[in-house]
Amino acid sequence: MKIKEISNYLESLAPLATQESYDNCGLIVGNFNDEINSVLVSLDCTEEIVDEAIAKGCQLIVSHHPIVFSGLKKLNGKNYVERTVIKAIKNDIAIYAIHTNLDNYRFGVNYEIGQRIGLKNIKTLRPVSNSLLKLQVMVPQENAEILKNALFQAGAGSIGEYDECSFELQGIGNFKPNKSAQPHIGEAGKRETVKEVKLEMVLENHKKSAVLKALFASHPYEEVAYDLIRLENNDKFTGAGMIGTLDKPEDAMEFLKRIKEIFACGIIKYTSLPDTSISKVAYCGGAGSFLIKEAKNQKADIFITGDLKYHEYFDAENEIVICDIGHYESEQFTTNLLADKLKEKFTNFAVHLTGLNTNPINYV
């Protein structure tokens, strides 16, 4: 199997286009055409993880956190990032990172957290904006079904839980080919009137290239009349953090004790607990303080995340419980998620889950 088969599958779930602007997802070390027979899945990529890959005979490491966030100007081993990259290259081990694109994926990092807690009615806390387009295209009636199916196949027409969504409006198209044209219908110098259908479909921005390719390949006209319109609608299944509800309300302290056990936290830091119980839970794996306001706006009883700063706890203002369970602790099950996805897709391929705890933080 080639690395690109793994990357293509992972990016079909969590497209690189959905990563945050500061991130560095994708293939960091290696060649897409390299042949591999086993992969090691980890949360971080460190020197010890590379050693583990060597010991287990893995040619690819798939990690959540990228080992390289910003550009490397030198590779002389002066820090752990450079040493890790050098060791991977020397041992022909590729490194692939799937970070904030997996955070933003509907069934990614945060969905896994919600399943561990036992939440219901899970939805995205802050859906992404400016990520949807509407395609409008005119096509002869007799070609409409063929074109429609080609656009569906390319990824257009998905709205929420529904696929193959489109709108059709019948009308009359007029055009006059010039002398250099090679018209599908009509002849040069003569105005033609054709019964046409106007098709409308919504698509995600990262699918634009594939959809336009299908459009031009399947449309009969030499010059295709179409519009692409950017929508203000949110993509409710893609975005940061999630929010859900418990089967039944839980005492706040008992809920925190349960969270500590589930995520094996060395310590949990939290703000004042309410007299009422916990029912609605907002959360974000990793560092999610930027979502505190959103969690409050959606009337969550508690917001769970990691890497909170001292002054951010004051933002609770007795309206919500803010809870820091640790960055590593909140994302640790990401490795299980990735390993399960890869095993399900590639049944004859060796997928190894790291046996190392890469959390750099210790507790006493």
Bridging pattern class, strands 94-97 and 60-63 = parallel
pLDDT at position 317 over 90: yes
pTM for this predicted structure:
0.92
Percent of the chain with pLDDT over 70: 100
What are the tens digits of pLDDT across the range 241-281? 999 999 999 999 999 999 999 999 999 999 999 888 999 99
Length of the chain: 364
Tokens of 76: 């002389």
Report d(CA 23, CA 17) in Å as an integer. 11
pLDDT-derived band at 71 (thresholds 50, 70, 90) equals confident
pLDDT at position 78 over 90: yes
pLDDT at position 119 over 90: yes
Please, are residues 306 and 286 in contact by the beta-carbon 8 Å criterion? yes
Please, are residues 39 and 6 in contact by the beta-carbon 8 Å criterion? yes
What are the tens digits of pLDDT across the range 204-236? 999 999 999 999 999 999 999 999 999 999 999
At 275 the pLDDT is: 87
Beta bridge partners, 45, equal none
pLDDT at position 355 over 90: yes
Bridging pattern class, strands 321-324 and 302-306 = parallel
**Which has the closest alpha carbon to 210: 17, 40, 76?**
17
- Cα angle: 80, vertex 83, 89; to 5 degrees: 140
| DSSP classification of residue 63 | E
**Which has the closest alpha carbon to 263: 300, 304, 296?**
304
